[in-house]
Structure 1
Amino acid sequence: MLKSIILLTALLISGAAVAQQSQPALLAPVPAAAALPVLGVTPVAPANGVRYQYQLVRLDNDWRVIFAPAWRGQTALEPDTKLFRGAKTGEVDALLLQALNELSADGWELLEIRTSVQPVSATQKMETSLTFSDPNRPQYDGKTTYSSDSQTRYLFRRALLR
Structure 2
Amino acid sequence: MLKSTLLLMALLSSGAAAAQKAQPALLAPLVAPSPLPVISVTPVAPTNGVRYEYQLVRLENDWRIIFAPAWRGQTVLEPDTKLFKGAKPGEVDGLLLGAINALSADGWELLEIRTSAQLLGAAQKVETSLYSSDPNRPQYDGKTTYSSDSQTRYLFRRALAR
**What TM-score results when the alignment is normalised by the length of structure 2?**
0.74
Per-residue deviation, residues 86-132 of structure 1 (Å, max 9, x unmatched): 22111111000000011111111111111111222210223555789
What is the aligned partner in structure 1 of residue 80 from structure 2?
A: 80
What is the aligned partner in structure 2 of residue 23 from structure 1?
A: 24
Unpaired runs of 5+ residues, structure 2, are 1-14
Distance 1:142 1:36, change over 3 A: farther
Per-residue deviation, residues 36-59 of structure 1 (Å, max 9, x unmatched): 421111112212221111000011
Q: Structure 1: which amino acid aligns with 2:22?
A: Q
Alpha-carbon distance, 1:85 to partner:
3.2
Distance 1:136 1:52, change over 3 A: same
Q: Are the aligned partners of 2:117 and 2:150 in contact in 1 as well (CA < 8 Å)?
A: yes
What is the aligned partner in structure 1 of residue 123 from structure 2?
A: 123
Distance 1:42 1:16, change over 3 A: farther
Unpaired runs of 5+ residues, structure 1, are 1-13
Q: Are the aligned partners of 1:110 and 1:154 in contact in 2 as well (CA < 8 Å)?
A: yes
Please tell me the root mean square deviation across aligned C-alpha atoms, in Å: 2.8
What is the aligned partner in structure 2 of residue 94 from structure 1?
A: 94
Q: Are the aligned partners of 1:16 and 1:136 in contact in 2 as well (CA < 8 Å)?
A: no
- Find out whether 1:45 has 2:8 as its counterpart: no
Q: Are the aligned partners of 1:19 and 1:137 in contact in 2 as well (CA < 8 Å)?
A: no
Q: Percent identity?
A: 75
**What TM-score results when the alignment is normalised by the length of structure 1?**
0.74
What is the aligned partner in structure 2 of residue 111 from structure 1?
A: 111
Distance 2:32 2:54 in 1: 36
Distance 1:83 1:141, change over 3 A: closer
